[in-house]
């Protein structure tokens, strides 16, 4: 997500928070996820951001409405943009969705897809084993391939031509997922469509960043800072300024 925002909005300064101490969010209760999301938003408010993107599918599904009611700046989630992108690409009308247990159980993608196109057929599958692989930096091993095959192999029995990667960790596994699903299945990350939505909202509000200076992005994480830094720099192709966070702020109510 952050990589695509950087590409489409190169003048915007980004503050990114990775709650690595409490991942994966997928198996957690909705109450926990809402509480965690409120804590992160409360932490970010001190920096006076002009917009917050909840770049986590599980947190979007559980907490987007609550957060929008609590703050007076635009809050953008990733589920509706991802659904729109998938519907633009499918030709069979059969869309697969993979995500954490929390995202899949919420039915958020199914609702978003059906609202936009009631005739669409949606096949959903929770993949709880994917996030731990990514958190360890294990993207391309044979173990990873076998895990992806065991998790997704049965989806090849459906006429899926478009597969939504309903977790921001999953693009790290694109190579293995494509290997299992086949080249005929288009993999959809919500990042591109979400970044477009961010641009549109900022344009409408007259708050797009200008000037010629390169912004200095800041990255925060709550867990293993070295692992986070290594994976982030590998994915972004750049060095990052990283700030470990120990929770000391109350959640917004």
Per-residue pLDDT tens over the stretch 93-109: 999 999 999 999 999 99
Q: Provide CB contacts within 8 A for 85, sequence distance 6+.
A: 188, 190, 192, 193
Where would I find the beta strands (DSSP E) of the chain? Answer: 15-18, 52-53, 75-76, 94-99, 121-126, 162-166, 186-188, 218-221, 242-244
**Is-contact 100 32, C-beta < 8 A?**
no
Which of the residue ranges 17-31, 44-58, 147-161 would you say has the lowest mean pLDDT?
17-31
pLDDT of residue 223: 86
Place of tokens 């790290």: 172
pLDDT category at 235 given cuts 50, 70, 90 is confident
Q: What are the backbone angles phi and psi of residue 96, rounded to the nearest 5°?
A: -95, 150
Is 165 or 137 the better-scoring residue by pLDDT?
Answer: 165
- CATH code for residues 2-77+195-244: 3.40.50.1860
Summarize the confidence of residues 197-210 as an average pLDDT.
Answer: 94
To the query of whether residue 56 is one of the catalytic residues in this protein, the response is yes
32-87, pLDDT tens digit by residue?
Answer: 999 999 999 999 999 999 999 999 999 999 999 999 999 999 999 999 999 999 99
Of 3.30.465.10, 3.40.640.10, 3.40.50.1860, 2.40.110.10, which CATH number belongs to 79-191? 3.40.50.1860
Q: Is the pLDDT of residue 249 over 60?
A: no
Higher pLDDT, 41 or 224: 41
Whole-angstrom distance, CA of residue 167 vs CA of residue 26: 9
Which has more pLDDT, 232 or 74?
A: 74
| Between 235 and 114, residue with greater pLDDT | 114
Q: Judge contact between 130 and 173, C-beta under 8 A.
A: yes
One fold for 2-77+195-244 and 79-191 = yes
Q: What is the pLDDT of residue 253?
A: 52
> Is 167 tagged catalytic?
yes
Non-local CB neighbours of 87 within 8 Å, separated by 6+ positions:
95, 113, 116, 117, 120
Query: What tokens were used for 18?
Result: 């990775």
pLDDT at 126: 96
* pLDDT confidence tier of residue 211, bands split at 50, 70 and 90: confident
**Of the listed 56, 94, 127, 221, which one is catalytic?**
56
Examine the pLDDT at 152 and tell me if it is beyond 90. Answer: yes
Q: How confident is the model at residue 250 (pLDDT cuts 50, 70, 90)?
A: very low
**Domain spans of the chain, in order of start:** 2-77+195-244, 79-191
Angle at 218 between CA 215 and CA 220, to 5 degrees: 165
Q: Whole-angstrom Cα distance, residue 198 to residue 84?
A: 15
**According to the model, what pLDDT value does residue 248 have?**
53
The structure's pTM equals 0.85
């Amino acid at each position: 997500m952050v990589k695509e925002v950087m590409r489409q909005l190169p003048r915007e300064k980004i503050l990114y928070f990775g709650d690595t101490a409490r991942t994966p969010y997928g198996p957690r209760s909705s109450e926990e996820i809402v509480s965690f999301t409120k804590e992160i938003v409360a932490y970010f408010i001190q920096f006076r951001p002009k917009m917050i993107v909840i770049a986590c599918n599980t947190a979007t599904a559980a907490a987007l409405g609550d957060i929008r009611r609590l703050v007076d700046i635009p809050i953008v989630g990733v589920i509706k943009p991802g659904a729109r992108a998938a519907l633009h690409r499918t030709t069979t009308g059969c869309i697969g969705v993979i995500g954490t247990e929390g995202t899949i159980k919420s039915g958020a993608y199914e609702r978003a897809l059906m609202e936009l196109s009631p005739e669409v057929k949606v096949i959903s599958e929770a993949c709880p084993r994917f996030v731990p692989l990514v958190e360890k930096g294990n993207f391309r091993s044979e173990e990873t391939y076998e895990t992806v095959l065991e998790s997704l192999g049965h989806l090849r029995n459906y006429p899926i031509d478009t597969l939504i990667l309903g977790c921001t960790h999953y693009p790290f596994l694109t190579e293995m997922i494509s290997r299992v699903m086949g080249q005929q299945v288009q993999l959809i990350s919500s990042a591109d469509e979400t970044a477009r939505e961010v641009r549109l909202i900022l344009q409408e509000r007259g708050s797009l960043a200008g000037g010629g200076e390169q912004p200095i992005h800041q990255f925060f994480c709550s867990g293993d800072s070295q692992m986070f830094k290594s994976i982030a720099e590998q994915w972004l192709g750049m060095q990052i300024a990283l700030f470990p966070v120990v929770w000391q702020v109350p959640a917004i109510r």
